[in-house]
Structure 1
């Protein structure tokens, strides 16, 4: 039985110890398809308020949002304080519960390059100053990063472990239009290639079960993403939460979520297509609270992992 090459394995091999990602949510960050720059309302599956804060401090700046054209940031000191408080609290717990020894600060919620360069620089450098931090992972959109930021991250990558995470979701423009993504597939490809040419590590997020997509389409998206040179991948099933446009479609009977059987089969096929050097950061997703409308199989992550391993076992693989 061969273990799938995971992100944890990659980090352990590189640093020789347990390295954990510390997920950080900084208030003041949003997305260009939420603030109206490219679209309104966000992606159809995104419940904008669902990006819950890791600590209550994030709520202090509610109503304050940055974008690429912001000329000032009067709340930078508060954001830096949020960053420090979250990192200290979460890393302490990871040390105590999981034996974590080193950390990657993961700028997680919303679009974490969608702000003035000086704000980004201050936040990234603050994160890298914390004890035992070996690098950064920055979640963003391909239409929300500028050359200056990319060049800066590439410079950091010469001495630190720097990852940039792009939401690919699908390579089909008709799908991206249906989910109100606000950009096309060519834009994602362009910036992934630019990031790779700059020397950055790239993680691509793929969603299986998007509206009207067949398994053939989902697998084609995975295959294309691999050819773009991504170094890591996160696989997600599309699930429906309350207070979203997708929830309205589901309630009207206009959207049917992916079945567990189809997701498992698609995931197994996508993993077997994956180049061996591409590590896996996630094989499923879900939420276990009353905001989940469907599919119900997304509630129990432990059950999902067991079933994923059951479909991988005949292939000689284990997650």
Structure 2
């Protein structure tokens, strides 16, 4: 099984640590009203970003139509400072010497083109950075941006991953979770990204409302068929003060069990080709904002159970 760690050792000859970055001013088109309001029903970016709550709150939120970005200088400084302290930590504690900057929180292509050019270029210019990974949505990327990323990767000789939040390939699910788009352009954007020599990582979620095991596995098989270079899978967990939390508290949503999730992961890894990079198969939030499932409080519990089940199935992870 080609985990992200094994992939990096093959590709770069050593361990590579992803450094998550969260910059002021970023948002999503399904939060600001462009395609929807309120964000996905499970969304609370602060729950999965270790840096977002450390940054100052700003009222201004960017969108691609802005002609000027008064936050740019602040964002460039945040990028530098977040990279500096995180890389220093992992270098001192774990001996890691190379890093990939991960633009993680919100939709990291939903900003003026000039801003994106400057942020991505600065990220690749930081010392000991071997590449960048950009978290986004398929409705928030255009060919102009992909062309720039391809040129940047070629010019810098570094690796660029575009991480698309697919979540599900069922339009009824995407509508229910208030995604703000359907499946109409998923395949074409993934293929356009790959055609330019960029790496694609597709994110999918297991345990979305009203989805069966067969539906979840079909989402996995679809992103494989579309040509994803990497895959992230994680369980849907419930954070307080979200729409999903309201559904859960009213008894209208039941989270996936650890046993069912592990069974799905084992079956998924049997189906994923050996050349596809597995970026992640677990997720959780280690604070009191987590309502359920409680097994998502500790990712180590998940990984121990997953590894035991995979070992029994004869799969090395």
1:266 alignment partner in structure 2: 264
TM-aligned CA distance change 1:16 to 1:94, over 3 Å: same
- C-alpha distance in 1 between matches for 2:7 and 2:45: 32
Match of 1:285 in 2: 283
State the partner residue of 1:73. 69
Q: Could you tell me which residue of structure 1 aligns to residue 309 of structure 2?
A: 311
Q: 2:24 aligns with which of 24, 27, 50?
A: 27
Q: Distance in 1 between matches of 2:19 and 2:48?
A: 15
Q: Which moves more between the two structures, 30-39 or 297-306?
A: 297-306
Cα deviation, residue 305, structure 1: 0.7
The answer to whether the 8 Å contact 1:203/1:234 transfers is yes
Q: Is the 8 A contact 1:22 1:90 kept in 2?
A: yes
Once the two structures are TM-superposed, the CA of residue 101 in structure 1 deviates from its matched residue by 1.1
On the 8 A contact 2:23/2:52 being kept in 1, the answer is: no
Q: What per-residue deviation string (whole Å, max 9, x for no partner) do you get for residues 18-76 of structure 1? A: 211111101110000000000000000002554656277621x5111101111110121
Q: In the superposition, relative to structure 1, how do residues 79 and 193 fare at CA in structure 2: closer, same or farther (>3 Å)? A: same
Is residue 284–residue 297 contact of structure 2 (8 Å, CA) maintained in 1? yes
TM-score normalized by the length of structure 2: 0.96
2:171 to 159, 170, 173: 173
C-alpha contact 2:237 2:293 (8 A) present in aligned 1 = yes
Show the 5 A alignment for 1:1-319: 4-50=1-47, 52=49, 54=51, 58-59=55-56, 61-158=57-154, 159-319=157-317
- Alpha-carbon shift at residue 288 of structure 1 (Å): 2.0
Contact 2:139 2:185 in 1 (8 A): yes
Call closer, same or farther: CA 1:53–1:216 in 2, change over 3 Å: closer
What CA distance in whole angstroms lies between the structure 2 residues aligned with 1:57 and 1:304?
27
Given that 1:68 and 1:144 are in contact with CA atoms closer than 8 Å, whether structure 2 keeps it comes out as no
Deviation at 1:199, TM superposition (A): 1.3
1:314, CA displacement in angstroms?
2.2
Q: Say whether the 8 Å CA contact 2:42–2:244 is kept in structure 1.
A: yes
- In the TM superposition, residue 279 of structure 1 has moved relative to its aligned partner by 1.1
The answer as to whether partners of 1:192 and 1:228 remain within 8 angstroms in 2 is yes
TM-score (norm 1): 0.96
Structure 1 vs Structure 2 CA RMSD: 1.3
Structure 2 residue matching 1:150: 3-state secondary structure: helix
Q: Does structure 1 conserve the Cα–Cα contact (< 8 Å) formed by 2:48 and 2:285?
A: no
CA distance in 2, matches of 1:280, 1:190: 22
Distance in structure 2 (CA, Å) of the matches to 1:134 and 1:33? 32
In structure 2, the residue corresponding to 1:100 is in which secondary structure?
coil
Matched pairs, number: 315
Segments of structure 2 that go 5 or more residues without pairing to the other structure are none
State the distance in 2 between where 1:312 and 1:25 align.
33
Would the aligned equivalents of 2:46 and 2:53 in 1 still touch at CA under 8 Å?
no
